[in-house]
């Protein structure tokens, strides 16, 4: 069973049909929408500020979600996939976003809708990633535009797949 703990009287809240892997950690002021999943060894730490997630957010294996005390909460929209071992810290992620494996998104950055943050990219503090683009590199730079329809289909497919994957674990429980 996942480690789910209150901090300073605030307990994590999950929407309907969420999945928490048995060694995921979710603590403090965290609110998830429906059909979210937090996978193996992922950490969602709402101990120093709040974390809000929309619907169909998947936090893949080894990812870390955190904030900065009294300065930078974490807001995540709908249909967001946070790749394996990514770090998402005190920023705003809009709807239909893919954060690639090992990517880092820092405090006060804003990733607008229909964006892809490439694997290994580092989005520096206060960066605004424009809607409909791919960002890659260290520091992350705009690489190319991608049509909203094409990207939305990709992101929705991944988000829906993670809802399906989580169902496999629920069936075997």
The residue ranges of every structural domain in the chain are: 3-171
How far is residue 64 from each of residues 9, 123, 137, measured CA to CA in Å? 22, 15, 20
Predicted pLDDT of residue 105: 98
Q: Token digits for 90? A: 């005190």
User: What pTM was estimated for this model as a whole?
Assistant: 0.96
Q: Token digits for 169? A: 């674990």
Predicted pLDDT of residue 172: 63
Homologous superfamily of 3-171: Hexapeptide repeat proteins (2.160.10.10)
Predicted pLDDT of residue 40: 98
Predicted pLDDT of residue 173: 58
Q: Are 24 and 40 in contact (CB under 8 A)?
A: yes
pLDDT means per 10 residues, the chain with 173 residues, are 96 97 98 98 98 98 97 97 98 97 98 96 98 97 89 86 93 64
Q: Are 39 and 166 in contact (CB under 8 A)?
A: no
Instruction: Quote the Cα angle for 46-123-151, to 5°.
Output: 95
For residue 171, with 0-12 CB atoms within 10 Å meaning exposed, 13-18 middle and 19 or more buried, which class applies?
exposed
């Amino acid at each position: 069973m996942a480690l789910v703990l209150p901090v300073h009287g605030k307990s994590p809240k999950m929407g309907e049909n969420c999945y928490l892997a048995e060694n995921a950690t979710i603590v403090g002021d965290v609110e998830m929408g429906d059909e979210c999943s937090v996978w193996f060894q992922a950490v969602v730490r709402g101990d120093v500020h709040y974390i809000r997630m929309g619907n169909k957010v998947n936090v893949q294996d080894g990812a870390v979600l955190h904030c900065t005390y009294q300065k930078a909460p974490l807001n995540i929209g709908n249909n967001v996939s946070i790749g394996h071992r990514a770090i998402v810290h005190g920023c705003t992620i809009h709807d239909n976003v893919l954060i690639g494996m090992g990517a880092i998104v820092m405090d006060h950055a804003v990733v607008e809708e229909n964006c892809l943050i490439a694997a290994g990219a580092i989005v520096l503090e206060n960066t605004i990633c424009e809607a409909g683009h791919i960002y890659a590199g260290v520091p992350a730079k705009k690489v190319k535009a991608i049509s909203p329809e094409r990207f939305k289909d990709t992101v929705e497919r991944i988000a829906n797949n993670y809802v399906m994957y989580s169902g496999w674990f629920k069936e075997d429980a």
